[in-house]
Structure 1
């Protein structure tokens, strides 16, 4: 989504007078190949190549005369900021503190429904802008949170592996040799494009990293008008559409990795536990129980994938970023390169030992399938998070609205992930019914249609809290 946010909440975005057409950025042949199971992005959407870089948003300065006129207001605001800080709180408006991470027009469609505590995903594929705890927002990406792909052509003569995000990022330079810098960050992004039409987004990989594989990732969240149950759910679904244009069968394994973190340095606080689970209807994955700092309510993530007769799901419940870990990020990657899956016995591992202070623990869920020559296949993942309590800094505690339907147990994340994988097609039908009449209305210019839907992101990512009264 073409925007960034300032601390005052103003929308800061850049756009052309007309958005790029699909066939300007994606070849028509690829669009035709992906035209099943909604793998093709819509005609009206905000688009960017993954190789593009967003400009930093410029700050404005005031003149001496303007500063003099606002002196009384500034003193009152400065006094308020100091009072909040003395009680351990951060003022919502603080012009005196320079943010370490400046906003940029690099965001994307956020994850989850309304009032759930949000996570955003940038158009280059990074998960960032963490706002699960009210009043706290961390803009920095958690680079361990990625989708990756491993491809072996029949006979083993051709192999491809890459994280499905461009690798030019400062966060990789800080990683140890056993960490995520050891992964294959081969995606250039000049043949991959992002398409945003809230509450969905499409990323099309047009022959990256395998020239003979066309790939579309569709991100779906349940933001549906007049549906006040499912629109409150903290879930998102990622549907991968695969098309093999080659002459050989291809074994394709997609992996979703996730750190036990809620942004910033929260992964280092210790006491975090991962455990595998096998749910209903062929759905399995890993629970990541996160112990939050400062007595904030805990958060439990569920990363899951859907297994069927064509797709096999395996998990690695825990891996770390250093050589002190029992399984490192480097070893996890090597396992996938060699075999394209994890050991099925990992489902019997049970809960891990709580993490130590300073350590980062992650999990991986793999979904593998064979795609026949000129064949097509669909692989589906879901992400859910159970954060039932909302605790404000002045002491009041409430339950989020989704708990009215799923209860307050941390393990409700499993049910949320399962229902998302079972219901996402119905959600898309309802989203289409809502959006199609407006998108087809010739009275409205293209930029208006795109902006009308995409600016609704703020109802999810603007710090909204929806509680049970």
Structure 2
């Protein structure tokens, strides 16, 4: 058994040593860039705490013996058919929750991806019965800053470089990127279904950055709350004397966690959509005849923001541009070639090969000026197949159809054009509780943050208004 919660409750979630400068919060208080005071907080250079296990007394064990025997018989029966039981208290190799994983992505019932407070994408739960806990470290946001004066340039992955998931494999892989962020002056803020990461002068001392993560978890909205999509809105404030060119980069691996990216048969495809939404589709061929998954990473091009893509890069540099070459291009130019949008579908990957993609959004920020840049992520696997062979259409297919490609494009488009409406509805729902002075602080953020399990707990929401019971044999969770 595991005790505790994903967001560990404590009386005061913001002790003095974890304060973000009030000046930075005031500067970022534009378009929702500043987090609410009631959010759960952690500094990026802190470490996650694995929740402690608790034991039961002899008398409690005796009372649960009948239930234990039934569960043991059920687990053995499922194993004899080559299946994993959805509830298996006897096996420790499962997705272990911690007290600081962060707000998961997306709505309900369409597969989930968690995002840790330090920015890592992990706990991949897109295929029922399969939960890959380890982060995919190629999935990152990064920043490149240059000034008109030309004296200073900054480049860094927007995640601490001391992450235990980062391993030096070869000189052309992601270890060649600039992992310069210490995290000492950066803070994560969680109030489900939103989260904020504030970079208070990291990596550029004259740049304040807020990354706001928004998912469509909205009361009484049974359409958008089923969507597998999230938006990442960057608010940039230049406190320096020189104009700054800022290029934000989103990189993504064609993977559903674990070693799935090595199975082969995956391919990427650039796209230009409506309303300035452009990006890359990553078509993933799953193992064991599971339904395929298509990821879409995109950014919104505006009058002030230019979007370019690199449809494919690899880790070795043998068949494609290497991760190091991709990074060097961004460090030098701050963007990719616009000709990349005409590249078409890549060749399917070979076994053992990792395909990645990148989307860049570049803008100029005037001295003491502000700018907003928005990215989106969507993952579309319209059919859900359970271990006993039953197949259903997910809820969102009633609105977006069953094509992985078209639904993925439409999902990121709607996410980038509707996220402000989502936030308005979320604030209408949360504000009466957050502003209630009779309620203690810890209760407010705990009340909302504990709802994470409706997204990350293995829920499957099918079409025809049917939600499968997590405890039934037909439904599975980690």
Please report how far the alpha carbon of residue 75 of structure 1 lies from its aligned counterpart in structure 2 after TM superposition. Answer: 4.4
Please report how far the alpha carbon of residue 82 of structure 1 lies from its aligned counterpart in structure 2 after TM superposition. Answer: 2.1
Is this contact kept in 1: 2:296–2:379, CA < 8 A? yes
Aligned to 1:40: 34
Distance in structure 2 (CA, Å) of the matches to 1:174 and 1:101: 25
Aligned to 2:476: none
- TM-score between the two structures when normalised by the length of structure 1: 0.95
User: Is 1:418 the counterpart of 2:413 in the alignment?
Assistant: yes
Give 1:455's match in structure 2, choosing from 446, 450, 456.
450
Distance in structure 2 (CA, Å) of the matches to 1:329 and 1:377: 28
Please report how far the alpha carbon of residue 68 of structure 1 lies from its aligned counterpart in structure 2 after TM superposition. Answer: 7.0
User: Is 1:83 the counterpart of 2:87 in the alignment?
Assistant: no
Aligned to 1:287: 281
User: Is 1:212 the counterpart of 2:201 in the alignment?
Assistant: no
Please report how far the alpha carbon of residue 309 of structure 1 lies from its aligned counterpart in structure 2 after TM superposition. Answer: 1.2
Q: Which stretch shows the higher mean deviation, 302-311 or 57-66? A: 57-66
The 5-angstrom pairing of residues 14-413 of structure 1 reads 14-20=8-14, 25-61=19-55, 73-99=67-93, 102-411=96-405, 412-413=407-408
Is this contact kept in 2: 1:128–1:139, CA < 8 A? yes
Please report how far the alpha carbon of residue 100 of structure 1 lies from its aligned counterpart in structure 2 after TM superposition. Answer: 6.6
Please report how far the alpha carbon of residue 79 of structure 1 lies from its aligned counterpart in structure 2 after TM superposition. Answer: 3.0
Distance in structure 2 (CA, Å) of the matches to 1:231 and 1:154: 44
Please report how far the alpha carbon of residue 139 of structure 1 lies from its aligned counterpart in structure 2 after TM superposition. Answer: 1.2
Is this contact kept in 1: 2:214–2:419, CA < 8 A? yes
Please report how far the alpha carbon of residue 78 of structure 1 lies from its aligned counterpart in structure 2 after TM superposition. Answer: 3.0
Is this contact kept in 2: 1:22–1:43, CA < 8 A? no
Give 1:427's match in structure 2, choosing from 413, 416, 422.
422
SS, match of residue 173 in structure 1: coil
Distance in structure 2 (CA, Å) of the matches to 1:84 and 1:56: 29
Distance in structure 2 (CA, Å) of the matches to 1:382 and 1:101: 26
Please report how far the alpha carbon of residue 21 of structure 1 lies from its aligned counterpart in structure 2 after TM superposition. Answer: 6.9
Please report how far the alpha carbon of residue 229 of structure 1 lies from its aligned counterpart in structure 2 after TM superposition. Answer: 0.8
Please report how far the alpha carbon of residue 25 of structure 1 lies from its aligned counterpart in structure 2 after TM superposition. Answer: 1.3
Is this contact kept in 2: 1:318–1:352, CA < 8 A? yes
Please report how far the alpha carbon of residue 61 of structure 1 lies from its aligned counterpart in structure 2 after TM superposition. Answer: 4.2
Is this contact kept in 1: 2:104–2:456, CA < 8 A? yes
Unaligned runs of 5+ in 2: 465-478
Please report how far the alpha carbon of residue 437 of structure 1 lies from its aligned counterpart in structure 2 after TM superposition. Answer: 1.0
CA RMSD of aligned residues (A): 1.9
Distance in structure 2 (CA, Å) of the matches to 1:29 and 1:209: 17
Distance in structure 1 (CA, Å) of the matches to 2:3 and 2:270: 39
Distance in structure 2 (CA, Å) of the matches to 1:398 and 1:37: 39
Q: How many residues of Structure 1 are paired with residues of Structure 2 in the alignment?
A: 463
Please report how far the alpha carbon of residue 155 of structure 1 lies from its aligned counterpart in structure 2 after TM superposition. Answer: 3.3
Is this contact kept in 2: 1:47–1:195, CA < 8 A? yes
Please report how far the alpha carbon of residue 76 of structure 1 lies from its aligned counterpart in structure 2 after TM superposition. Answer: 4.0
Distance in structure 2 (CA, Å) of the matches to 1:372 and 1:444: 42
Distance in structure 2 (CA, Å) of the matches to 1:75 and 1:323: 53
SS, match of residue 151 in structure 1: strand
Q: 1:74 to 1:232 in 2, by over 3 A?
A: closer
Distance in structure 2 (CA, Å) of the matches to 1:96 and 1:426: 45
Distance in structure 2 (CA, Å) of the matches to 1:143 and 1:48: 20
Aligned to 2:475: none
SS, match of residue 25 in structure 2: helix
Aligned to 1:442: 437
Is this contact kept in 1: 2:264–2:351, CA < 8 A? yes
Is this contact kept in 2: 1:21–1:43, CA < 8 A? no
Is this contact kept in 2: 1:183–1:330, CA < 8 A? yes
Q: Which stretch shows the higher mean deviation, 77-86 or 243-252? A: 77-86
Aligned to 1:464: 459
Aligned to 2:469: none
Is this contact kept in 2: 1:276–1:315, CA < 8 A? yes
Distance in structure 1 (CA, Å) of the matches to 2:11 and 2:404: 46
- TM-score between the two structures when normalised by the length of structure 2: 0.93
Please report how far the alpha carbon of residue 74 of structure 1 lies from its aligned counterpart in structure 2 after TM superposition. Answer: 4.2
Distance in structure 1 (CA, Å) of the matches to 2:255 and 2:400: 23
Q: Deviations over 1:112-135 (max 9, x none)?
A: 111111111011100111111112
Aligned to 1:3: none
